[in-house]
Every structure is written in structure tokens, then in C-alpha cells.
A and B are shown apart, each in its own frame.
Chain A
Amino acid sequence: MAPATKKRRTGIEGDCEVRAKETIGGLSSEEAMEDISKEEDDIGGRTLEAESRAGKPPKHPSSEQEKAQAVGESYESKSSIFRMETEEMLSEIRVDYRKRMAPVENMLHKLRNIIEKIPRKTDTTASILSHLYLLIDEVEGEMQKLEIRIPFPEPKPGADIKYKFSYEKPAYMNIAGSYALRTVAKQREGFAIDLILQMPPTIFQEKDYLNYRYFHKRAYYLATIASAIQGSGLDLQLSYSDLHGDPLRPIIVVAPSGSNSETDFTASKCLIHIIPAISKNTFSLSKLRPDKNAVRPVADTVGGSVPPTPQYNSSILADTTYLGHLAQLHEMSSEAKAFKDACLLGRTWLKQRGFSSNISRGGFGHAEWSILMSLLLKGGGSKGNSILAKGYSNYQMFKAMLQFLATHDLIMNPLLFGVELGSVLWPKGPNVFDGKFGLNILFKMTEWGYHLLKHEAEITLKLLGDPLIDHFEEIFLHRLDDPCYKFDTLAYIPIPERLDKDSGLNPLLSFSQRLYDMLSIGLTDRAKLIHLTLPSTSAQPVRVNGINQSIAPAKQIIAGFLLNAAQCNRTVDHGPPAGHKDGASYRAFWGDKAELRRFKDGSILESVVWCTKDSKKSIYNQIIQYLATKNLGGEIGTHVKFIGDEYANAVGGRGGVGLFQPTMAAFENLIKALRNLEGLPLAIRQVSAAAPALRYSSVEVPLFSSGRLMQPADVVVQFESSGRWPDDLIAVQKTKIAFLLKMSELLEKSGTVTRIGLENIDYPAMNSAFLEVVYHEGSAFRIRIYHDREQTLLERQLLNKDLPGKKRDEITAALSEHRRRFIVGPLHTQEVQKLSHRFPALSPSIRLLKKWFQTHLLSREVSDELVELMAIRTFVATSSPPNSVMSGFLRTLRFISLWDWRSEPAIVGAVAKNTSETFGAIRTSDPAMNRYVMVIPTEYDPTGTTFTESGPRKVVAARVTSLARAAVGASFKDMFVSSTRDYDFVMHIEPKYTLSGVRSKGSKFKNLQKTEITSQDIAKLGLNVPETFVNELNDIYGDTIIFFTDGNIIAGLWNPSSASGRRWKVNIPYSTIPQVGRNDEEVLKLNKMSILNEISRLGGEILAKIEIIKK
């Protein structure tokens, strides 16, 4: 292998690497060779390794048994399949350097030659001593002539500055960063190769670290290089960009021209970053400690202390670290075998969550990840022990890193390496101080960025610890950086045109810090986490009159909030008591909103009261708006855009479970009434609810307007067991009717209206009757009797092997109906009730989601319970449950869009261990998915099919997925717009006969509407003409047409298998036209016209219009 690698190590990159190692002296070239050959091993023998690593058989397994033992060991750690998946993903994202990188290496080589040939800038007229240096006006004149911009950072050098600029050849050039370390990953937007140019110390003076002098000289140096590359005639696109969003440190970004010329490196899918650097001893480290000032105020403050400038100091120091860090990482990757892979994992994890080294995106990217990891491999623990062990596997290392990030508070407890605490305190932000470089390596991280990182690490750690489900995809494969899905509510806060220049080195950053502080104080415990996303800085053209190609980012800060659901809608905030010393500051903060109030317990407190009348805006948004107006000016305050409230408003605001209070009270009354019945042959054991209205999840809030009966809510009554029930299914049903009649008789004595309804007439084994109980305030219930022996009777029938197929189907259907209605249904209702109290956002999220399914005409196929379970899954599956309707709804939609229901169940909460086996059995017995399509197991329904048996079918499930995919990323409005374009025909129900039409009072004049319940209303209770109609259509045409409905329109899709012609057969399940087809064969074609005519005949006046969409 050695000769091969030697050959490979040509080109600039290899060259540079050697030089780097020589100059640093950290690594011998032999080690480097080993390094690379190892890399080859990695790529070549990957499959083998994947297998051996996953199974972990130490030696060649001599026998089956030994192998089994090895497998067993790996299974004990529960992460075997996760590890296999990790290996697969790593192999997928690794870059084939040899194949892909040739063009760019060629280009690097060329750039190197160009840079080496740049002459030193001299001024012949000056004296010997200063002959290297140019004055500011000369410098500007020179570049003006070349039409090259100098990327001076703000504040730009004035015309009167005394110091001089110069250029000398870089002390050395080198590739650093992840490309040198071989830890770049394939990604859509490509990656960057960092080409480090170390500026010679001779062009700087000892005091140049002060007052931006270093950065100005650096900018000139960069401009010189830019002009040389520009002048070389190479076909490239050059631009300046701020390194990691640090405005003090511009770099040159070299992009391929895409012209397909010889030097074009588009194929390598990467950019080259040219980064000027300095050696570690150019400036004194002690002068640049975080507590030192390096930017002297303009006005003379004699004797006064000057504020420290930690950010500025770090920006200089960061330029000294590239090569040092590279050496450190190289060393680590040779010591710890899994280091590089763990870097790749970290890189992927961070990228999917939108973190990068850029200040505006958290300031924690793969560079920081790998440096932090290398530090933790050496130390960081108590008593100088290392936190990570070198022998860890990539997975263990990744997990341990997350553990560290999640549990170690780096703001409160800075992590120090080779330095004492005191002089290196970092204001407001995490601190990992590396004494070797004198730098806080997390200096780019903001307070909020750090909190978010910690939060994400906590979530992932929880997922990794899940003993049952493997969350690999969620951890590595899904993009999770859309703020709408990450946060509970969003506010887009415009950035003022003129930021306060004096407020700091980075005006935007100090503005956002002010905003952050303001929001944290103002929202108190309403928000658990506040995060600000700053606009990223855009690239600048190199040429003076160059066109700026990148789109200027919107001038706004996206503030994302994770709410505290229990507190965020509180109307009163208490401040300090009257006369307390904090009172003044409280008043100053809240302005005229603060008032002194006397409370019930006698205390007199400063307080702020928010209004709930304006139901369009939630209280936290009112606070944000008020504070923005007060502190940032009305211009900004009125332009703050809030995202999130529209979701809550669509389902009746923030009432949550409170909206259902009257219904629940009515149900309590019913229970009381039933329990007080005297004269029943058996005592009532249990009354349980089994309806969406009784678990806070019906779209319509029942009993909301007076004079309107609610849709009857299902209730299950169970009697004390008795041996006197007949042992025959049909007789059981009749006995139930007798019981209902008795109950009805007793209830009517107390003036309650009752009716008995029949159902399942065609299915004698199913429940055949229910009792409707109507109260005059509008509540209505449907009582069914649960007899626990029915299940046994049905199961016993199924054991009979001679049962004819049709009968068997009937019994099976009856059994699942029984389980759904009487056993699982009440349990489900109980669970949803419980969870709705635990998660205030659950109930409105479910209702909005149901509305979504309804809008898209899917609620016929997707049962109420299935929707509820999908939403619940979002709430219980993560350690960070949604706290607003928006996040609850959107995250569930995203889950639906990602759910591969063909190959995996959607597991809700804690389920039995053998869930995946159960699922496997379901799929093996029915691979075509004719019976069970979506499977959603829960604790009380381990098979997960109870609520999905009657739909959605495969076609409809696929439609659900595609609609959810379209909705993810759409605006709120677009999500609720349904198009009938995809259907074959659409029938409109006459408004008079829709559910709401039938229930309305029929009076034309609003003020004449009767508000009491009449006997007419009761007679119409439960009448749902469109539903009955569609059910009947489905019975008649079920094999030919798929019907979709929302109660107002019915859309139909011809089954494609019916649409093609068929040979003669007696029992073709649709109306046909005989035709002579090809080969003189008689074929039968679907008779669409006749069928539509039949439907229209059947519907009669129910239908208002039939539209044929597709011929």
C-alpha cells in the first residue's frame, strides 16, 4: 500500500501538509504516511469493517456459537443496528478524495504559484528603514487603479492614520481545517477548503494589535492577493466574505467559474477559502487576554479604566490558531482511532440542526466540535482526567460529546485548559479556554446559540437512550433547522436601519444582545428558551464595481421561543412589593404598563396586566410587541411580524381544554343521573366516555352556542357481572336492548328525553342498539352497553374451523368493532383526556390537524383516533414536547410526511418490547397491505391496528403522505386550501342537507332564531344525510370508486383497475358497457355515465351539482 500512497501525495495539498508538519514539528512524515494509508484502509475495506464492527467478533469466529456470543454482547448495548446504520451513513457521506478532488488540487497548485510570485510592495522614495511600507492614500490609490476593493472592516481607517501598509510573501501556505484532516462530508451546498497564508511578522509592528491596525493591514494583504489572482487571468469567481460571520476577518472565497475550462473545478463541488493568518508570537498573548482592552476610546480617559474587548482580542487570536489546531487534530486522530468518524458524525448532526461556525448560526460548527473533542480527549474532567477516552468507538465518542454538551453548563462553569480562572472570565457566553492559544474557542457563540445547542444535545441524548426505538433517522438524516418546526412561536423583528455604532465592536451583535436581555426579562418564565437568528453577512465582490451576486439577506432577526405552556398565557405578572428597592427599575422596564395592585392575599405588588380580549394576539406576543415598541421605537414595534398565533386562532384561540368545560360538566351530570337510577336489574359498574367531544378533540366545540344540540357523544356503560346473561350473541344484543329500554324508562321519569336507535342491522353479531339521552341545555349522549362476555363468544366462534368464509369475516369484523368500541375506545379516551391536561397544546393541535384532514376530504378514511394518535406521538416522543398549536401541528405534519408506513409502525409512548415483531407478522401475513396499512401501536392497543382497520387504504395513505409533504414548508394559508383537481368527479351537497344545514334553525333572520331545543331538533339528532349517503355509495361502488368527503362535497376517484376493460365474467362489481375490442374480442368497459346517472338518481335533491373533473 505504501507506494500507492506515495504517488498520491503529489500536488499542492500533500506538499503543504509536509511543510506544515515540518514547521510545526508535531508530526513526523512517517506518521502522516500511516495516517493516509489508514484512510485508504477505511475506504477500501469499509464493508468488511462495517460488518466486523457491528458484530464485534474479535477474531475470526471459529464457530457459529462464538459468533452468536459476539452478537449477543453487542445486543446487550442495544445499539447494534444503530451502529450499522452509522457505518452506512459514514460511507455515504465520505468523500472520495482521489477521484473528486483532482481538479481543485490542480487549482490550489496554481493559486500557490500565483501567490508566491507576488512581489513585495516597496516604495523607492522612502528611506531604508521604511522602504517596505506604504501610506494609506498610496495603498488606496494603488488598489483604485487595479479596481480592487480593500475589505477594510468597520471602522475604516481614516485618512490621517500614521501607520503604513506593506506586502511580503507569506511565511508559508498550508491547507488546514477539515479538508486537511480528511473529515469533509458530502453535502448539497459543497464544502470549503481552507488555504491558510501565514503573513510574515515583519509587516506588523508590536502595537498593531491595537485599534484595528492589525485588521486593516490584514485587509490590505488580502486585497493584494485578490488583485494578483484577479490579474492572473485564471477563470475564477472571487469574492470577499467574512470568515464565520466575523466582520473583522474578511477572507477571499474562490469559486469555480463553471465554464468547463481546463482549470474549472466545479466537479470537486467545493470552494477555496483563502485565509490570512499570523504566527502565534506576532503579538503578545497576555495583551490579548479577554480582560484586556485593545481598542482605546477616542476621547482621552486619563486614569479611567477602559472596558475589556474580549471579542476583538479573540478575533486576532483566532488568526493564530489554524495551524496549531490542525496539528492538535492530527495528533488526536492518530491517537484515537475513531476520532475522525466521530468528527464526521458531529458534523452531520450539527449541520442537520442548522449549526455552523458562523456567528449568525450559533458559532458552533464542525471545527469547534472537533477542537472541543480533541481537548476533551486530553482533559477537562475532574482532577485532570480526560472526559472522553481514546479507545471509544465513533458512536461512543459522539454520544459522550453530546453528553458533555447537554450536561455541562459552560457559562456557569467554564472549562479551562492550562490556565487559571480569573483573568479569562468571559462575559455572557460559554467559555472553553485553551491556555495554549490564550483563546476561548467558543468565542463566537452567543448566549442563545449556546442554550439552543445544549437543548438540542439534550433531545438527541434522550433519543439515543430510547431502549425501544432506533431514532437514527431523526438524529442524523432529517433536516431540523426550520425555525417553524423548532420553536413554538416566532417573531420577525426588523433591524433598525442605523444601528448604534458606539455600542460595541459588532453593532448587530450588541443590538441582538440587548434584544435578548430585554426579551428574557420581559417574558420571565413564559419562555423556556429564547433564540435569535441573525441575518448572515453577505459576500462582497472583489472588484470595485463588481456586482454583488449574493442576495442581501432580509434585515430582520428571527426570534424563536420555546414556551412554557403552563405559564405563557398568564395574564398578570407580579413584580416587587410596593416600596421595594427594585420597584423603580421594574417601573422603568415596563413603563406605564406597570401599576400597583392589591391582591386577594393582601399583598400590594407592582404588576403588569395583559388583556385577553384581543383574542387575535397571544399574551406573549403582546409582551414582545409592547417591549419592542417601548425600547426599540414604534417603527420597529409595529413591524414585528408574529408567526404562530394564526394556528391557535384557527381553532378558537387559546382556550385549550377550557372550551370543553360545559361538555365535561354535562357528562358528569349524566354519570350522576345514571348512578342514581333505581330499579335497574343490575348495578352499573362503570360509565366511560368514548367520543372525541369528551376528550377535548372534536373540531367543533360542543355546546358553544346555545340552542344548538351537540352531536351525540358516545358513552359506554358496563354493568356488574352476572351469570344470567344468555350465552348467545344475538340474545345478548336483545338483552342489551331490554336494558336500554329499562334505562330509558327510568331516565324519562326524571324528565330527560331519550330515544333508542338501531345500528348494524345487517350484522347481527355486532352491537345493535344505543340509547340517546338529550338534555335541554343541548348536550346529547349515545349510550351503549358493554358486556365483557361478547368478546369470548366471538372468539369462540372463530375457533370453529368449519365456519364459512363469509361468516368468519363477519365475526372478525364484529370482534374488532367490539374491541374498538368497548375496550380500546374508552381507554383511548381516557389517555387523551389525561394527556390533554398534561400538554395544554395537545387539544388544539389535534383539532387543527383534524381540520386539515377534513379540508383535504380525508376524514372519512382517517379516523378521529388515528389523527389523535399521530398528534400524541409528537408530544410524547420527544423530551421537548411542543408548547404551542403551531409547533404541535407542524411537527405532526412533518412526522406524517416522513412516516414510511410501509415499513415501520408509528410507535406511541411506551409499548411492549415485541412491537416490531408484531408489526413484522402483520406485514408478512398481508404483504400487499390490503387490510392494515398504517400501524400505530400504543400501550393499550399493542397491535396498533384497532383504529386503522377501516382506513386509510393504501392509495389514500399515499395521498396523506403526499399532502403532508406539500404542506411542510407551505404557508399557513396554503395548507388549508384544498384543490379538487386530482379527483375524477366532485359532487356538491345541497347546503340544506349538509350536517350544519340540517342542524340550523331554518330561520332567515338571525334575531328570530330560537334558542331553545325543540322536539324537532331532537328528532333530527344524529341525522347526517351526506354521511349516510356516502356510506351507501361506498357499499354499492366500493370496489370501483374511492370516495372522499368533508360533508359538503363528495369527490370520487375511479379505481384504475376498473377503468381498463375486462373479459366477460358474471360478478364484475360495477356497471359495464359491452364492446368489441381488439382481436374481435368482447370486452366489458366501466360504464361511467350510467354510474353517475345512478348516483344522481339515488341522491336526488341531496345533490346540488356534479362536476366532472377528468374525462
Chain B
Amino acid sequence: MSPPAQIASYTILPITIPATPLAGTATHFLYFRKHSAKQLAPHDPRSLFAVNVPIDSTTTHFRALFTKIGGGRVERVIFEEGGGARCGHGKRKRASEDEEVGGDVWDRPLRKSGSTAVVVFVDKPSRDMAIKAAGKVSTTAVVWGDGISEVINIPALGISRYLTHHNLTHPSKVHLQASVNTFMAVFEGEERARLRALAKRRQVPDEDGFITVLRGGRTAPARQEEVKAALEKKRKDKHEGFYRFQVREGRKNQQIELLRKFEEDKRRVAERKQLRRFKAGSGSGGARIV
């Protein structure tokens, strides 16, 4: 059965994966179409949206791939968030071009199986050329990782990647100290600025002349939890069973609760009966004798 050339407006690009010492040759299928995102980005008109990228994809791989099929030059590739190794937090950083560096502890990040990527070309014609070229590719023409020049050094997979990872998770103390110091300096600075801003806002009336009430006034900032605990305690101190109706209501509630429990138990027993659990010894429960 030959695969269709297109699926739901996506062009299908079959890629031959060379055999490894342990696994045979396989064909991987990449799907792509013109990129159109909800939030427009400046590079959208010259981008492709690719689905099902191989887990070890890098920008270099894509560059080589599109060069091979005769498409245009790839400027960069933005991979989907949440791959095997994620870096830091915040979208800005991910979208940056140095994705080859990956997270702090991996020299080469991985992509989740079946994940997507946005391939940004140098210009719009390059992209259109790529789409056109992809449509003509026969099943065995493109080989994954083919055409990557020796000069570009992609970190290797396999054991060396894990050893590097192990070393990266144990950074030198000097570096670590420096990064902590930087962070703390920034953090403290921000904190101070925030407090100052708050203090300022407490004093400045808005256009209607009101001063907004904000946390952190003169008294020490009360912790929400403490207030809650205090409230809870207050509620408990209320005189219970002082009035007759309270006693009566309490008893009634208790009875309703018991009745509910009784019904519940009855239901449970019936359920077990359904499972034929009451067959002594012969049921599923019986430990077999040797």
C-alpha cells in the first residue's frame, strides 16, 4: 500500500533512516505545511510547520535535509516546547536561536516523539521552494542526517551524551557560587524595587482621589494561613449544644449520616456479591495448595 502524498493539507515527506547496528532501516514520515499561527510572528510568512520530527532533530539536520531536496536555506528551527530535555522556563529563551546548547545539563536536547517544529527559512521564496521540492521526493531519496558537513560538530548520542550529562549535573562549585550570587543580587534588587513601588502606591491617590489599600502596610504582613487558622479556631469556640435545637439537629444529622453509611455498606456487600466473592475458598481469593 503506497502512502498518500498528502494528508489533510500537509505534505508528506518520507525520510529514510539508515540502519543502526541493532535496528534495520526504517522510513520516517515528516508532515509539513505553511506555518500559520494564531499569534502572528514576524517570521511567519517564511516558515514551515513540521509535524512528527525525529527525536534527535537539530537545526543542522533540517538544514541538511532541505538542502538535499533542493529547498531553500533554513535560518533556524523552533522546536515544540516540552521535548525530552527542556531548558529553563519562559518562552522567550526557547525561541532563541541557540537551541543547540539545550538545557544546562544536556549537551543535546531531544524532541518528544511525534512533536512539532517551526522551520524558519531565510525568505519566503525559499520556503515555497521547499514545499514544491518536497512534493516531488520519492520514497527513498532523502536520508536522515545525510549531508551534514563534518565541520559542524553535533554532540554525539549514546554513552558520551550521558557521561556529559552526568558531568554537567555536577558543576564546579565556583561556577555555581557565582550563578547563585548573581541570582540573589538580581532577586534582592527586584524585591527591593517591588517593595518600594508598593510603598509608593500606598501613598499615591488614583484619579478619583482614593488610595488603594495594599498588603504590607505598617503592620507586618499577616500571613493568609495564620488568619485562616485564627478564624478556624474562633469558629470552633462557638458554643455548641447550647440550644436544644442544636442538640436535636446534631443528632438528626448523625442519624442521617449513619443511615447513609448503612446504605453504602449494603451497596458494597451487594457489589461484592456480584463479583461472586462469597464463595468460600473457591473464589478468586483462594490460595492454591501445592
Contacts and interface: CB of A to CB of B under 8 A. Distances in A.
Q: Do A and B come from one complex?
A: yes
A1077 to B, nearest CB: 9
Contacts of B262: 55, 71, 74-75, 80
A266 interface: no
A1089 B26 contact: yes
B114 A755 contact: no
A347 to B, nearest CB: 10
A755 B278 contact: no
A1032 B86 CA distance: 12
Interface in B250-266: 252, 254-256, 258-259, 261-262, 265-266
Contact of B280 (A476, A726, A897): A476
Nearest to A188: B282
B281 A1075 contact: no
Contact of A477 (B24, B87, B191, B280): B280
A345 to B, nearest CB: 10
B156 interface: yes
A68 interface: yes
A88 interface: yes
A1066 B51 contact: yes
* Interface of A (DSSP majority class): helix
A897 B29 CA distance: 44
B54 interface: yes
Contact of B258 (A68, A92, A796): A68
Interface string B252-290: 101110110110011011011100011111110111111
Interface stretch (B70-78, B102-110, B118-126, B146-154): B102-110
Given A92-B278, A734-B184, A969-B290, A1094 B258 contact: no
Interface stretch (A335-343, A631-639, A1101-1109): A1101-1109
A383 B207 CA distance: 97
A351 B280 CA distance: 9
Given A737-B176, A757-B169, A92 B159 contact: no
A1076 interface: yes
A1036 B84 contact: yes
Contacts of B255: 65, 68-69, 71-72
Contact of A1096 (B23, B28, B83, B104): B23
A1094 B116 contact: no
Contact of A1094 (B21, B54, B273): B54
Contact of B289 (A479, A897, A1095, A1100): A479
A485 B289 CA distance: 10
B8 interface: yes
A495 interface: no
Contacts of A704: none
Interface stretch (A215-223, A230-238, A759-767, A826-834): A759-767
Contacts of B184: 731, 734-735, 738
A1071 interface: yes
B196 to A, nearest CB: 16
B238 interface: no
Contacts of B31: 1074
Nearest to B56: A1097
Contacts of A1023: 162-163, 166
A473 B285 contact: yes
Interface string B124-150: 000000000000000000000000000
B256 A68 contact: yes
A93 B280 contact: yes
Given A473-B285, A1100-B157, A81 B113 contact: no
B280 A1101 contact: no
User: Which of B87, B105, B180 gathers the greatest number of chain A CB atoms within 10 Å?
Assistant: B180
Contacts of B42: none
Contact of A188 (B19, B281, B287): B281
A994 to B, nearest CB: 12
B209 interface: no
A1035 interface: yes
A1072 B52 contact: yes
B4 to A, nearest CB: 5
A644 to B, nearest CB: 14
Contacts of A80: 262, 265
B7 A1074 contact: yes
B165 interface: yes
B283 A477 contact: yes
Given A67-B259, A1071-B114, A734 B1 contact: no
A1100 B158 contact: yes
A1067 B281 contact: no
Given A188-B282, A1093-B17, A1067 B289 contact: no
A1094 B24 CA distance: 11
Interface string A347-358: 010011000000
A75 B7 contact: no
B23 A348 contact: no
A1064 B7 contact: yes
A478 B282 CA distance: 9
A364 to B, nearest CB: 18
Q: Which of B21, B55, B187, B191 has the most CB of A within 10 A?
A: B55
A875 B22 CA distance: 47
B85 interface: yes
B17 A756 contact: no
Interface in A117-166: none
Interface string B16-60: 010111111111110100000000000000000001101110000
Given A741-B177, A1028-B165, A1102 B158 contact: yes
A744 B56 CA distance: 37
Contacts of B281: 187-188, 351-352, 477-479
Contact of B288 (A968, A1067, A1071, A1075): A968
Contact of A969 (B56, B115, B277, B289): B289
A876 interface: no
Contacts of A993: 159
A898 B287 CA distance: 9
B187 A731 contact: yes
B280 A352 contact: yes
Contact of A71 (B115, B157, B258, B282): B258
A449 to B, nearest CB: 18
Contacts of A761: 86-87, 103-105, 169
A741 B283 CA distance: 60
Contacts of B21: 1096
Given A71-B258, A1023-B166, A1036 B289 contact: no
B7 A1036 contact: no
B24 A1093 contact: yes
Nearest to A1025: B162
Contact of A478 (B161, B165, B285): B285
Interface string B222-239: 001100000000000000
A786 to B, nearest CB: 18
B187 A728 contact: yes
A756 B169 CA distance: 8
A482 interface: yes
A394 interface: no
Contact of A85 (B171, B278, B286): B278
A764 B27 CA distance: 38
A482 B187 contact: no
Given A75-B258, A478-B286, A1098 B55 contact: yes
B12 interface: yes
A894 B183 CA distance: 54
A1068 interface: yes
A963 B104 CA distance: 41
17 contacts: A68-B255, A71-B262, A88-B269, A187-B280, A477-B279, A477-B280, A480-B287, A728-B187, A744-B173, A761-B169, A969-B290, A1035-B112, A1076-B3, A1084-B7, A1089-B24, A1094-B17, A1101-B158
Given A51-B266, A1068-B114, A1072-B114, 8 more contacts: A479-B285, A741-B173, A741-B176, A764-B89, A1037-B113, A1073-B3, A1097-B157, A1098-B157
Question: Would you list the 5 A-B pairs with minimal beta carbon distance, nearest first?
Answer: A1100-B158, A68-B255, A1089-B26, A1096-B23, A969-B288
